Chain A
Amino acid sequence: MIVLATSDKGGTGRSVTTTNVAYRRALQGDDVCFLDFDFGSPTAGAILDVESVSRGIKMGTGLHSYLHGETAEPARIDVWRHAGWSGRRRPLGAGRLVLLPGDEGGGEFPVDAAMIERCRQLFLGLAEEFSIILVDLSAGRSYAAELVQEATSNLGSGGEAVRWLVFHRWTRQHILAAHGLVFGERGIVNNGVQLGIDREVMEDSIRFVRTAVQEPDSAQLSLLRPAQASWLQRCHEELLELAARRRLGRSMMIGAIPLDPVLQWREQIIRDLDVRSTQIANPETVAAFEDLASKLTQQNYWAAV
């Protein structure tokens, strides 16, 4: 399965959520690889705490170079062995967790047919090795996103399932932007239709993830003054209604990641010990990652009613 993670706006927490989901999924026993397609700012290395690639890989062997035909194989990094927080070995029962980093100083680029083909070959090869391929795209519409959508739309018969996770924060602007990114005139759905995919199949393959969510009844908001709480609840209701009208409602939502100080202050992998032992992270956050990770492959969350 190929999971494409995108968002219309920056700062949604897309990368940190996607990496945590990859980590959780690998812990659950799947072989997972994570592709950093955010060429403008490859940060997956930093989030995963792999020192050597914290701003992309330096030797010109990253995904960026591969797509330009400058290297035959993109570099791979075994996260279990190289991440600072890991014990240099894979936990018992866990699957592989492999990072394909971008190049340091990569940047955006126009797409040509050769690139699309290279990208397609890359996915075909990875699909044989890994059960989950997570692709972190940059925010907004980008060449990289177009490239990936085109490459994955044409993986051949019996091809991998392709699913989209669209991240947005819980604000009016983010809801409208995410709606545009998916359902807009040049949005993901219409792009897919132009690439020959059925509109309904396309819509079934897209789900939204709300990030940095603060429910009005969450403990963090219990210190608000009554008037603030009253106002906040009204805002929340308006957003719920807006989301429902813009087709970002509960039926299209596959996850909601609560606001967590650890994610806010330092984008990083949250391990179970961060919750249980040091208690710096909230258990609800880990639960939300676990939940999203397992729903990725549950068909009923990806079928229209």
Chain B
Amino acid sequence: MRIQPRQLMLELWQAASAYSHQKGEWQFGGRAQPNSTADAEQLLCLMYPATAEASYFRLEQPDRTGKDVAQALQALGEPIEIPQVLLRAVSTFMRRYSDEDGLPVFHGGAYLQATQAGHILSPEDRRIDIVDSMSMSITLCLATLGFFKEYRRTGIRRAQLLRDVEWLENAASTRLTAAMVGLLRSFTVHTFSPTSTAGAALLRTVDQDGYSEEQLLARLRASLNSIRADLPEATDGTTGLDGLENENHLFECGWSWGVVHGAPAVEADLPESAQKPGRAVARPNLYFTLSALDGIADLSSERTRRLNLLTSTQQSLSRRLQLRWELAQRYWSAIADFGDRRTALADIPWQPTDRAGGESPVTDHYYSLQVAGMVIENLHQRRPAENELASIAQILAELAIRARVTRRASQQETAVEMHVPGLEIPLAEADGKPVVLAWRVTDFATALLKRTMRLVLLARSAELRQQLLDLADEIWGHVEQRMILDGPGAGLWDDPRRPFPGLPDEAGEPSWYFTERVVECLVAAVSVIDMSPVTNVAGISAARTMLSEADHLYHRELLNGALNAGGAMRAELEDVAIQIDRARAAVERRPGTAQAILLEVLRRLNSLEAARPSIVLEGRL
């Protein structure tokens, strides 16, 4: 792996902190006007690595902050001041994204776009809650709660500071609850007849072996049967469950782009008024489903459990979200896995059941990537076979080629549309209202890198791991090219003009959307390096053979009375014994290291032996 996450992260931190902290204050903003998603992303650029499972970038205990880390964040002040800078910044965020009653909002704001060029969105339009913002807020709130819980333990005692921390913890906890409730109410089940457009698209997706439509339907129903049976358990806040009663209908489940129209209120520690009626269509969207999954994954992380970050109400909400998380993963994995000769996932690009008018078919590759992401997350729940992983690795590699991430793009190539302008998701509302809002998704390259890293974590063979790391390096090469070089956002992202020449110049200011995703990739790279090296049976067996030979020869030297041969010989054999012990300790977990040590030991033992027989043979005694 050529990616060096510590160095890269610190460079990114240096640029992000210099941009975000000016004149002693945190400044929200970047390429887009401040909004609840972008501001959370901007904060997470620091908060996410600082609260990641691996503790290399910790900031909440100033006594333990690394020297290079402190240097990178000089713009924020000295290590002792950094937690307080973050305290003020996150508190500002919490205040800014609450309504008049102090209830958290998840408005799309400036990230929303008009579906029709020239149409200007009203402030009303921009005040619509979005799943991306909820999911980002879950991650941010959990990071905040953990960060300041640990910060408290450093023995802070200034009364005002303690009050400020307490205020933020309460605000973050309330926002977390609201985001979880929002996600519960955004989960939906969409049922449709096999003869509808959606039905035809789904059947087309699973048609990999040339079965008749009847056989195909029967097989599809059979493979989705257990999910269909479990779905009715997910009642809280869920719309569309009654559609499942019609056994002839097909279905899909997952997250829509916001709270679904007609979604019932959920029991939680929130005022009634916090659960506003939803507007989103009751149809899952792959991008938002994956986005929700990323937030929910943080709810069940080892860290969240260890630090006991959730209240009992939140634990109950979390369990309900887990259930939906598992159902969505199982559903999409089942569809993706369909097919004997070739899986539906391998049949690139994936065909969505619903395609908006005017959507470029090339962005279908986005759906392939999202389904692959869901399959990979599902594989993390069990111990997958190596060939399953290899076939997904192949799909990721092909997506990287098709999206011109690992191949040069020619001018005006349609594949570039996946990156710029990206996938435009129309935010369809219930009852066929005209669609005016759209959500722009431009994270293909970083999503691909993140999924590749997640897959590396599963690989157990050295070959597959290396193959995936090579792919990750190649994708990183592309991502790195897109770093902004000049202007206020220098050192941050995203400037796609180098890999994709001919694009208009809109760089200068950073895109926190993209930069935060680069940060996620680097954190994923850290977890890859943090694993112990992969080993294989052959390597261990070779190391054992060498160990046994070296040990044997060493003992023969001792038996021969080598210790009578004087100080030089004794010192040599003492050191050989130490090296053999080191090798023995390394055999299982680092067989390559063990072999390297043993080669040296065998050579040294041999040179002792080689010095002796010649004297005897020449018979000069």
Is B64 engaged at the interface, CB distance under 8 Å to the other chain?
yes
Q: Which of B64, B84, B155, B161 contacts A240 (CB 8 A)?
A: B64
Evaluate whether A241 and B158 lie within 8 angstroms (CB atoms) in the complex, with A250-B79, A251-B80, A305-B80 already known. Answer: no
| Residues of A238-294 whose CB lies within 8 A of B | 240-241, 243-244, 247, 249-252
Which single member of B64, B84, B156 contacts A244 (CB below 8 Å)?
A: B64
Chain A contacts of B61 at CB under 8 A? 244
For residue B157, CB closer than 8 A to chain A, the reply is yes
Which chain A positions have C-beta within 8 A of B65? 250
Q: What's the Cα separation between A200 and B84 when bound, in Å?
A: 20
Flag A221-246 by CB within 8 Å of B: 1 or 0 each: 00000000000000000001101100
CB distance from B85 to the nearest CB of A (A): 12
Bitwise, B152-178 to A at CB < 8 A (1) or not (0) is: 001111100100000000000000000
Contact A244 B63 (CB under 8 A): yes
Interface string of B128-170 (1 = CB under 8 A from A): 0000000000000000000000000011111001000000000
A249 to B155 alpha-carbon distance, docked (Å): 12
Q: Does A304 contact B (CB under 8 A)?
A: yes
In the bound complex, residues from chain B placing their C-beta under 8 Å from that of A193 are: none
Residue of B nearest to A240 (CB): B64
CA distance A241 to B157 in the complex (A): 22
Task: Name the interface size band of chain A.
Answer: 10 to 19
Q: List B residues 281-302 near A (Cβ within 8 Å).
A: none
Q: How far is the CB of A199 from chain B (nearest CB, A)?
A: 11
Return chain A residues, CB-CB under 8 Å to B232: none
A243 touches B63 (CB 8 A): yes
| Residues of A contacting B158 in the complex (Cβ-Cβ under 8 angstroms) | 303-305
B539 in contact (CB, < 8 A) = no
B66 to chain A, nearest CB (A): 9
Contact A250 B157, beta carbon cutoff 8 Å:
no
Provide the residues of chain A in CB contact with B5, threshold 8 Å.
none
Note all chain B residues with C-beta closer than 8 A to A244. 61, 63-64
* B residues near A241, Cβ cutoff 8 Å: 64
Q: B154–A251 contact, CB under 8 A?
A: yes
B67 → A minimal CB distance (Å): 8
How far is A271 from B614 in the complex, measured between Cα atoms in Å? Answer: 70
Within 8 A of A (CB), among B57-84: 61-65, 67, 79-80, 84
Residue pairs across A and B with CB atoms within 8 Å: the count is: 36
A221 nearest CB across to chain B (Å): 14
- Give the distance in Å from the alpha carbon of A240 to the alpha carbon of B157 in the complex: 23
Residues in chain A near residue B156, CB distance under 8 A: 304-305
A304 to B64, CA, bound (A): 17
Instruction: Let me know if A200 and B157 touch, CB within 8 A.
Output: yes
Residues in A with CB closer than 8 Å to B84 are 305
Interface centre among A215, A241, A251, A304 (most CB of B within 10 A): A251
Q: Would you give the shortest CB distance from B153 to chain A, in whole angstroms?
A: 12
Contact with B62, one of A217, A247, A250 (Cβ below 8 angstroms): A250
Q: How far is the CA of A241 from the CA of B156 in the complex (A)?
A: 19
Nearest-CB residue, chain A, relative to B63: A249
B63 touches A304 (CB 8 A): no
Partner of B63 from A215, A217, A250, A303 at Cβ < 8 Å: A250
Contact A251 B64 (CB under 8 A): no
Contact status A304-B154, CB under 8 Å = no
The residue on A at minimum CB distance from B80 is A251
Minimum Cβ distance to chain A for residue B595 (Å)? 20
The chain B residue with its CB closest to the CB of A245 is B63
Given the known A-B contacts A304-B156, A305-B80, are A251 and B161 also in contact in the complex, defined by CB atoms under 8 Å? Answer: no
Q: Measured between alpha carbons, how far is A240 from B64 in the docked complex, in Å?
A: 7
Over the window 76-111 of chain B, the binary record of Cβ atoms lying under 8 Å from chain A Cβ atoms (1 yes, 0 no) is 000110001000000000000000000000000000
- Give 1 or 0 for each of A42-66: 1 = CB within 8 Å of chain B CB: 0000000000000000000000000
Q: Is the CB of B157 within 8 A of A249?
A: no
A217 to B66, CA, bound (A): 13
Return chain B residues, CB-CB under 8 Å to A304. Answer: 155-158
Question: Shortest beta-carbon distance, B70 to chain A, in Å?
Answer: 8
Residues on A with C-beta less than 8 A from B80 are: 250-251, 305
> What is the minimal beta-carbon distance from A101 to any residue of chain B, in angstroms?
37
Interchain CA distance A244-B58 in the complex, whole Å = 14
Q: How far is the CA of A298 from the CA of B621 in the complex (A)?
A: 86
Closest residue on chain A to residue B61 by CB atoms: A244
User: In the complex, what residue of chain A is closest to B78 when comparing beta carbons?
Assistant: A250
Residues of B within 8 A of A249 (CB): 62-64
Nearest CB of chain A from residue B482's CB, rounded to whole Å: 32
**A247→B155 CA distance, assembly (Å):** 10
Q: Which of B61, B63, B67, B158 has the most CB of A within 10 A?
A: B63
**How near does chain B come to A300, taking the closest CB pair, in angstroms?**
9
Against B, the Cβ 8 Å flags (1 = close, 0 = not) of A199-214 are: 0100000000000000
Contacts of A118-148 to chain B: CB distance below 8 A? none
- Taking Cβ atoms with an 8 Å cutoff, the residues of A that contact B are 200, 215, 217, 240-241, 243-244, 247, 249-252, 303-305
Can you list 6 A-B contacts with CB-CB less than 8 angstroms, sorted by A residue number?
A: A249-B63, A249-B64, A251-B63, A304-B156, A305-B80, A305-B84
Extra inter-chain contacts (19) besides given A240-B63, A303-B158, A305-B154, CB under 8 Å: A200-B157, A240-B64, A243-B63, A244-B61, A244-B63, A247-B155, A250-B62, A250-B65, A250-B79, A251-B62, A251-B63, A251-B80, A251-B154, A304-B155, A304-B156, A305-B84, A305-B157, A305-B158, A305-B161
What 10 A-B pairs come out closest when comparing CB atoms?
Answer: A249-B63, A244-B63, A305-B156, A250-B63, A251-B62, A251-B80, A244-B64, A250-B62, A304-B157, A251-B63
